[in-house]
Chain A
């Protein structure tokens, strides 16, 4: 029973975090909204007056807009699928009896500690370079022509780099969830003669539902904004221009702050559509 007193105390304790985040959200948001209705070109004198919805129209009608939305969804979706599927498999594997589990866990967790810039640089140069990269050496050793990863399989390459970074995160959360699984239930099922696939589908997977939701939610939040990986590798070429990168090109490369801000507003809308969708899913799952 919460008393009136503790309620107001609770509100007071929540206040700093809420007010700070509200400010962090609203101040830039309002400025972005203001800019988005202006012709704002820093290299041509800055604020050149109101233009109504012109920036909004221009941003969506540009031929780059829809491909960028699709690229964003493809990267986020691809990484989510890979990390969840391989995360579940890895978690199951790591939960088996074996020698040196601690060391294996250390090896698996390591990519999560690597800066995105560093991992993109290392993958791009030392692995995916079509002449000096390790993959190229490997391919030629087997007599195959080296793959030009970042131009011919650009989207897949970026999905791969980002998945490598996030796989440890997914694995660890899923592993914690698997470890909490009631082993008696599994043993009982095994006694009843249920094959491993059935046991996985009817016992393990449902149990992991909540953990998968959390992985999807947290990763989506981070993946929607990935920038360094694209900036370092393809600079948005070969169909890897995400919405975030398109906005970057408008604001920083073209120095069109008005247009870029309109793009920012679209990105916020897209993020919120995805957020509402996710929140529904998570909200339900968190109450359960």
Chain B
């Protein structure tokens, strides 16, 4: 009796959850489907769901028109570089905040977060002028720096909450055994923190990949990432839904696949100290 109730509940749960999940996912699915249609099918009324002549024409057009690989590579370098650099700078800071907290630690942490509230549009002009002076316009180095600074507060915060969950006793034990600061970080802390670091890495890679204000405004040709690639496919003349869908799919596919494969790691660390 009790079993059938739970089975029944499980069926209902499954049905509801799948419906909701598919609804949330639908815009992405629709984009991917549309990318395989012709422009005329893309706007057909009633809409065609699966029964259309699948074509790769849109992908061919997009690949012919833009150097996709270069945009992709720039995205990888910029997102990857800024995330790695950010982690290198943030690990020691987060470590000291978590294990040697001073009276002002919390204030410093919150202040760091508040720097993220500076409106980017408001400081575009100053940053542009500084970039000209330093010759950083349209360079990957410049974007790596800016995105690293943008995400540094988030990285520090995530690592801090993760480090705090590591029991101090383990560190003390290591110290008793004569481990220095370096050994402590390298051999005790880092292995324990790897899941946290991995999830921090992933989240910030995603944030940097999707950043569309600085990456668009500080680049021209050489360092332009996928956000600029998309800007050349929005509202051109004539019908464009299918080509836009193809370009969109190409821009989000790498991060979508990465996200799906590593979602366990991402989720396990995505607590921001929300769980205690």
Contact = CB atoms under 8 A, between A and B. Distances in A.
Chains A and B directly touch (beta carbon < 8 Å)? yes
A251 B126 contact: no
B25 A97 contact: no
Nearest to B146: A24
B66 interface: no
Interface string B101-131: 0100010101011111111111111110110
A111 B149 CA distance: 25
A122 B32 CA distance: 11
Interface string A272-288: 10110001001100110
Interface residues of B, number: 92
A28 B123 contact: yes
Interface residues of A, number: 107
Interface in B125-148: 125-127, 129-130
Nearest to A28: B123
Interface in A184-241: 210-211, 213-215, 217-218, 221-222, 224-225, 227-228, 232
Contacts of A141: 46
Contacts of B30: 122, 126-127, 134
B122 A263 contact: yes
A229 to B, nearest CB: 10
B243 to A, nearest CB: 11
A117 B252 CA distance: 11
A183 interface: no
B152 interface: yes
Contacts of B113: 217, 221, 275
A44 interface: no
B244 interface: yes
Contact of B118 (A14, A29, A228): A29
B62 interface: no
B31 interface: yes
Contacts of B43: 132
Task: Name the prevailing secondary structure of the A interface residues.
Answer: helix
Contacts of A167: 24
Given A13-B93, A134-B47, A244-B119, A28 B127 contact: yes
A74 interface: no
Contacts of A32: 122-123, 126
Contacts of B119: 224-225, 243-244, 247, 264, 267-268, 271
A42 to B, nearest CB: 8
Contacts of A176: 267-268, 270-271, 274-275
29 contacts: A9-B100, A10-B97, A16-B92, A17-B156, A18-B93, A31-B129, A90-B20, A96-B10, A100-B14, A105-B21, A106-B263, A107-B21, A107-B25, A110-B256, A115-B252, A122-B30, A132-B241, A174-B274, A176-B274, A210-B276, A213-B274, A244-B121, A247-B119, A247-B121, A251-B121, A251-B125, A261-B122, A274-B117, A282-B110
Interface of B: 6, 9-10, 13-14, 16-18, 20-22, 24-25, 27-28, 30-31, 34, 43, 45-47, 89-90, 92-93, 95-97, 99-100, 102, 106, 108, 110, 112-127, 129-130, 149, 152-154, 156, 181, 206, 209-210, 212-213, 226-227, 230-231, 234-235, 240-241, 244-245, 248, 251-252, 255-256, 259-260, 263, 266-268, 270-276
Interface of A: 2, 6-7, 9-11, 13-14, 16-18, 20-21, 24-25, 27-29, 31-32, 35, 90, 93-94, 96-101, 103-119, 121-123, 125-127, 132, 134, 137, 140-141, 164, 167-169, 172-177, 180, 210-211, 213-215, 217-218, 221-222, 224-225, 227-228, 232, 243-245, 247-248, 251-252, 257, 260-261, 263-265, 267-268, 271-272, 274-275, 279, 282-283, 286-287
